[in-house]
Chain A
Amino acid sequence: MSTTTNPTQFAFLSRILHWLMAALLIAMLFIGVSMVCSLGDYNRLLAIHRPLGIAILILAAIRLITRLLTPAPALPQSVAPSERVIVKLSEFLLYALFIALPLVGWAMLSAGHYPIVMFGSVHLPPILPARPELYATLRKTHTILAYALFLTFLAHMSAVLFHTLVLRDGLLSRMVPWTVRPAKGESQS
């Protein structure tokens, strides 16, 4: 197969979005877990949390579309067939959480009869009717999904570092923002 249909890296936009979203999501997880236990900083953190969540939702949608429209690089030989299933599942789980977390947050505020303030006078419409029991369920769901995302992120980071530092199979080069040329003769193997 030629390198044009079997690229060595994800699309440039995918790679940029990966690192941008990684930074935003880690910041978001720390903001979320801090604000719920803070009296003094609650409001300042919440004012960042809402628009940042919506920004992540938009970026996740762009990234998902990019991922579906551009070819993904093959996994190195060092990734066993059984591991490939885990790779697929974890990628699916991450995308699902990127989209579900902000949507659940938005739905939760809607159900709780809150205005969904972004910045200034800009606010979003509710996406659910105001219903107390729905609010309570979605509020819990939001926390559970956030912890799930944090654990999935840790597992993802650890697995990639294991491949990169211990197996040294170049797995990380598929996602680095700069261009990595294929190793000589790789397309023949």
Chain B
Amino acid sequence: MDNRELNPVSANEPAPLPPGTVVARLASIGLLAAAIAGLFLYAGGWFNPHALTPAAMVDTFEHVDGVHPGFRRNHAKGVCVTGFFESNGQGQTLSKAQVFEAGRVPVIGRFALAGGQPYAADTPQTVRSLALLFKSPNGEEWRTAMLNIPVFPVNTPQAFHDFLVVTSPDPQTGKVDGAAVGAFVSKHPETAAALKILGSHAPSSGFSDGAYYALNAFRFVNAKGESIPVRWWIKPDQSTVTENSAATDKNYLFDALIAHLHSGPLRWHLMLIVGQPGDPTAEAASMWPADRQQIDAGTITIDTIESEDTSPTRDINFDPLILPDGISPSDDPLLSARSAAYSQSFTRREGEKKSPSAISTAEVAK
């Protein structure tokens, strides 16, 4: 017997739908698919082309400094170093990260000049950076990119973007528009305050005798589970070095660093500034009160130097949010933005043909 007669409404043979219902159901399916696709594109920023995205931030660097394929979009001119960190164990009161246990871990790093021009001439005023990567025995990494200025000029990604634009020289005149800078600063009192601090903070004579500041606050978590706001900076062991070489040579800062490292290792103390409850952690443009406790966590020794042309460090993204367990991001919005923009810059440059670094292998061998 044909079972269809017994089961006229079985799943296999339903009564036919009226044509109008078929159309309505087809339309509903189409609408649902279109709505999901629309949400997906919305989440991907397709309907908001003027938002400040990681790509837009890096585009601005390319606009300001030009596109230099293969190079970092910021801190483009640099040289690679290696060394080690000898922890004295003091940092463990703040953080459970293995890097703070007493002992030695390898460090790789990169000295650089701020800005996206890989062949820019060294000047005393150009902001200098030192990026470091500490590798713990358990395989965890701590990457940090520090600057030789004690405060950052801005507090937010948008302000950073706008500051970058207004402080860039006009391509026609080669001059910075002072009125535009004034207008920006008057809208950003935190920048006015930061620029005042920076104005009274003379840069060191070179890379070797400079202090470098992490600027952003982080949260350290110790073995007891306590979360403590911390900022760090590194304090040079070598006192101010008077440069003999003329500051007119375009690589004079790097050449001095190379000469120093050829004559012996350079050392810095890793200083952890312990924040108090209420200290702002989302204001890179301001310093914490000067009386905050500082813990000397150990010594960073830099003893070898190598051109980017041969060093694997060229292909390392010094993303400040690559952190070991025991160091966490704070609520500082610049941290996530830096991480996102560095990743964008890294992705662009890794796919590009490489050009020789201004600090060539021959320069480093001098």
Residues of B326-353 contacting chain A, CB below 8 A: 329, 333, 335-337, 339-341, 343, 346-347, 350-352
Instruction: Report if B25 contacts A (CB, 8 A).
Output: yes
A82 is an interface residue with CB less than 8 A from chain B: no
List A contacts of B44 (CB < 8 A): 33-34, 36-37
Interface residues on A, range: 35 or more
Query: Smallest distance from the beta carbon of B256 to chain A beta carbons, Å?
Result: 29
User: A42 near B22 (CB under 8 angstroms)?
Assistant: no
Q: Determine the residue in chain A with the shortest Cβ distance to B41.
A: A33
B residues near A40, Cβ cutoff 8 Å: 157, 333, 336-337
Query: Which residues of chain A have C-beta atoms less than 8 A from B14's C-beta?
Result: 168
Tell me if B315 is interfacial: C-beta within 8 Å of chain A: yes
Q: Find out whether the CB atom of A115 lies under 8 angstroms from the CB atom of B329.
A: no
- CB-CB under 8 A from B17, the residues of chain A are 166, 168
Interface size on B, residues (CB 8 A): 57
B141 at the interface (CB under 8 A from A): yes
Contact B3 A184 (CB under 8 A): yes
Query: Which chain B residue lies CB-closest to A139?
Result: B347
Docked complex Cα distance between A43 and B33 (Å): 30
The residues of A that contact B54 with a CB separation of less than 8 Å are: 36-39, 42
Q: Could you count the A-B residue pairs with CB atoms below 8 Å apart for me: how many are there?
A: 146
Contact with B along A129-146 (1 / 0, CB 8 A): 010110111011000000
Instruction: Decide: B350 and A43 in contact? CB cutoff 8 A.
Output: no
CA distance A128 to B331 in the complex (A): 34
Does the CB pair A43–B339 fall under 8 Å?
A: yes
- A162 beta carbon closer than 8 Å to chain B: yes
- Whether a CB of chain B sits under 8 angstroms from the CB of A81 is no
CB-CB under 8 A from B324, the residues of chain A are: 121
Q: Quick check: is A158 within 8 A (CB to CB) of the other chain?
A: yes
Chain A 9-47 per-residue mask, 1 if CB under 8 angstroms from chain B, else 0: 000000000000000000001100111111111111010
B325 within 8 Å of A (CB atoms): yes
Shortest Cβ gap from A33 to chain B (Å): 4
Q: What residues of chain B lie closer than 8 Å to A173, measured between beta carbons?
A: 11
A39 pairs with B26, CB closer than 8 A? no
B366 → A minimal CB distance (Å): 27
